Amino acid sequence: MPTSRHVLREKVAAYASALLDGAYEAGGQDAVLEVRDQAERVMRAARSNMDLSSALEDSSYTPEQRNGLARSVFAQCHPVLVDVLAVMAERGDFALLSRVWASYGEQLERKLNVTVVDVTTVVELDDHLREVIVRKAEADLGTKVVLREHIDKSLLGGILMSANGKRIDASVLSQLENARNVLKLSTDGGEC
Amino acid sequence: MKARAKEARHRIGLAVIGGVGATAAFPALAFASEGESGGISAILPDPLEFVPMLVIFIVLWAVLAKVGWPKFEAMLEKREETIKDSLEKSEQARIESERVLEEYKRQLEDAKAQAAQIVADAKKTGEAVKADITDKAQAEAATMIEKAHAAIEAEKKAAISDLQGSVADLSVAVASRLIGEDLSDEAHRKVIERYVNEAGSFNAN
């Protein structure tokens, strides 16, 4: 007898599979990656806007009202993503979006043998750096790698890479933080 | 007392017997005084006066011996008994007083011994209390010193930690500013490439 957790996992996988298959049929790997990026932005928007996420999950609204609300709010997104978000809101499953996004990444790697690596740096990457990073990531992950590049000046320097929930933080910011912690915690040589 | 009374009675009896005997032995002297007015007759008693007086004397002596003397003797005996009792009582009192005195002396000695023992005990107790108070005071002082040392050490460590934190924050801030301002894009890319080559694997996490 399936447990509620198992049912939930199946539901999340079904949403992610529908999203991935629809995006791939609509535009191939590029559409799949675009939908992934848009889903991530939607997820961040929902986290930062509690009124929006509450309204999309509010049971006092009818399923049709929630569906219409999702479609109107995310109208600028990929049609496949809009459809899936509308269905999730209609069924009261919008809170599962973060899990759907994670499952989407897993299915993307499994079905297309592609892993999306998010790369955050202070400056834009040039082709040489992209080649170096892709080579290293493919060697580590054993799949084809697609880089999603982000610029964040707060890193101060270095690079931050993440894929499938795994993370390599080689930023100057983290190294300075480590150095700060070491300096604060170390007492050797501090005796007067 | 009884002996003296008997002796006095004996002497009185001898005097009476002596007087009566002399009167009977020398009647001529009594009669001689009738013929001569001077000489020995001047000192000899007149028999006419002497005999009645003697009779009266004897009667008086007999009466006194019969009636007065036993009372006098009883009074003397009573007095003797009284004096004897008094002497015995005084002797008993003396013995009692000596016994009481000895008792008092013994009690005084005991009291002195007890007082000395109490003083010795008090002195001993005082010494023990003094030593106890001294030990406690020393222990408290040691504890206070230890706490003070611990507090000073904690303050010292806190101050050092604060100083280290300040130095670390300042160092990081200076390093951040230097890196952010001084590194060019090309330098950043070189740093990125070096970090990528030196960074660990995704599979390491």
- Name the residue with higher pLDDT: B34 or B197: B197
* Measured distance CA(B200)–CA(B205) in Å, rounded: 9
pLDDT for the residue B66:
87
Which DSSP letter does residue B40 get? G
The beta-carbon neighbor of B192 closest among A129, A137, A179 is A129
Secondary structure of B126-148 as H, E, C letters: HHHHHHHHHHHHHHHHHHHHHHH
Would you say B143 and B151 are in contact if contact means Cβ atoms under 8 Å apart? no
Q: How many residues does chain B have?
A: 205
Q: State the span(s) of chain A assigned CATH 1.10.520.
A: 4-105
| pLDDT tops 60 at residue A65 | yes
Q: Which two tokens stand for residue B130?
A: 């003094």
Question: Which of B176, B185, B189 should one mutate to test binding to chain A, selecting the residue with the greatest count of A CBs within 10 A?
Answer: B189
The neighbour count for residue B25, using CB atoms within 10 Å, is: 9
Over range B21-41, report the average pLDDT. Answer: 55
- Report pLDDT digits (tens) over A84-135: 999 999 998 888 999 999 899 888 888 888 888 999 999 999 999 999 999 9
What CATH number belongs to A4-105?
1.10.520
* Measured distance CA(A183)–CA(B12) in Å, rounded: 144
Instruction: Please report the number of interchain residue pairs, chain A to chain B, with beta-carbon separation below 8 angstroms.
Output: 100
* pTM listed for this prediction: 0.51
In terms of DSSP bridges, do strands A114-121 and A158-163 run parallel, antiparallel, or are they unpaired?
Answer: antiparallel
One-character DSSP codes across A112-165: H-EEEEEEEESS---HHHHHHHHHHHHHHHSSEEEEEEEE-GGG-SEEEEEETT
Average pLDDT, chain B: 82
With beta carbons under 8 A apart, name residues in chain B contacting A161. Answer: 199, 202
ipTM of predicted assembly, 2 dp: 0.72
With beta carbons under 8 A apart, name residues in chain A contacting B159. Answer: none
Cα dist. B34→B21, B22, B27, B41 in Å?
Answer: 21, 19, 12, 8
| pLDDT tops 60 at residue B1 | no
Cα dist. B12→A92, A142, B1, B24, B59 in Å?
Answer: 165, 173, 17, 18, 14
Would you say A143 and A112 are in contact if contact means Cβ atoms under 8 Å apart? no
Per mean pLDDT, which range of A86-100, A154-168, B104-118 is the poorest? A154-168
* Measured distance CA(A67)–CA(A55) in Å, rounded: 11
The beta-carbon neighbor of B195 closest among A137, A158, A183 is A158
